[in-house]
A and B are shown apart, each in its own frame.
Chain A
Amino acid sequence: MAGNVTADLFRALIENLEAPVVDGDRWESMAFILEFPGGEFNGAHGYLYLPDGVIAAVASDPWAVKAAVKTYTDGYYKPGEALPRKILVQFDRTTGKYDITFEENDEARWKVTPRNFRALREELRPTFD
């Protein structure tokens, strides 16, 4: 069940991308940050990692993925329980491995800025050693 919910979340994120990605179908791994400012989901954005070092910034339609996000979080949080600040979803398509990290407190974590965007997209690249 949990796997299906997770797969449905991944599917929603990918199927509802809002980004001009060239050769996007060649992606090998992905990292998405789900944002819950104020305790409500309002956005999902991240990166697709393509061969040859290409990294594509992407975002998903928040209205389109909202239901899948809610189904996923409902599996971990009881009604009325505070949602996390952010959730990091990482998936390596070549190995099938994934990881999901809950950030409960730090709203600044994984924040893209003019100073850190190059380092951040490498930091978020899925690695499962």
Chain B
Amino acid sequence: MSGAARAVMRELKQAVADAGRNLNDRLPQLADNITAHLDNVVKQVRDTDNYDNVVTTRGPNTKTTHFDPDTGRPVQESGTILDDFGGSPRGDNATAIGRLGDPGDDGGHLGAHRFFGDTPDEGIVPQIANLNRGAWKKMESEWADWVAEGARVDYRIAVDPPGAVRPDNFKVVYTVSDPSTGDLIDIQSESFANVGGQTFDRIDQR
């Protein structure tokens, strides 16, 4: 459908109003379910009893990586970021872990090196270079932009399949909040396939 046709459709105010009334009948009950869904998702961990975990801290930043004890590979990682340390020498096993994946993979840090420094193996995954150096890096830069403004970033990264040597997908949920008040500024939930071409629209600080 062309943009013009869509514009016409959107001008059918009466039809929209009718449909809206119908929606109004259908949606209130949905609201009753909201609270039940609103666990603190950033802290939520699936089936934690089945997994081991490792904690990494750097300054005020901390993260917990849950991993499959059989494979040593991550299932989920959650963390809090209050400071950005920028670039620093790397001494972890990212390169070796990247080689566990496909040709063209990097060893990608679930929680960026700029925030947590050298990372235990469980927090690094084979990640296609286009994603690691593209959309994923842009997302990390966005987090750094928020932190530079004094905000706090909490995140949870789910790995799919859980514990896979080479993940197929990642889901990242992150919140931006004011650390002085706790007020939630923003929440985003993004899906990334571990293939080329993934994009992330980095914010413009200005």
Q: Say yes or no: is B190 at the interface (Cβ < 8 Å to chain A).
A: yes
B145 within 8 A of A: yes
Whether A98 pairs with B203 at a CB distance below 8 angstroms is no
Take A15-B30, A24-B38, A45-B188 as given contacts and tell me if A114 and B203 are in contact as well, using a CB distance cutoff of 8 Å.
Answer: yes
Cβ-defined contact, B30 with A11, below 8 A? yes
Give the interface size class of chain A. Answer: 35 or more
Beyond A7-B26, A37-B200, whether A45 also contacts B187 by CB under 8 A is: yes
Inter-chain contacts of B198 with A (CB < 8 A): 37-38, 42
Q: Does B8 contact A (CB under 8 A)?
A: no
When distances are taken between beta carbons in the complex, the residues of chain B under 8 Å from A31 are none
Q: Is the CB of A18 within 8 A of B189?
A: yes
Q: Summarize B's interface: helix, strand, loop or mixed.
A: mixed
A24→B21 contact, CB < 8 A: no
Option from A17, A26, A107, A115 in Cβ contact (under 8 Å) with B37: A17
B23 touches A98 (CB 8 A): yes
Contacts A25-B31, A59-B173; A107 near B201 (Cβ below 8 A) = yes
**Contact A62/B191 with A6-B23, A18-B173, A113-B204 known, Cβ cut-off 8 Å:** yes
* A103 nearest CB across to chain B (Å): 11
Which of B21, B22, B38 is the one whose CB lies under 8 Å from A19? Answer: B38
Pick the contact of B188 from A7, A43, A102, A107 — CB < 8 Å?
Answer: A43
Q: Which 6 A-B pairs have the closest CB atoms?
A: A96-B24, A3-B19, A96-B20, A37-B199, A38-B199, A114-B149
Additional 5 contacts, C-beta under 8 A, given A14-B34, A113-B205: A19-B41, A37-B198, A42-B192, A96-B22, A117-B185
Q: Which residues of B contact A (CB under 8 A)?
A: 1, 3, 6, 10, 16-28, 30-35, 37-41, 135, 145-146, 149, 151, 169, 171, 173, 175, 184-192, 197-201, 203-206
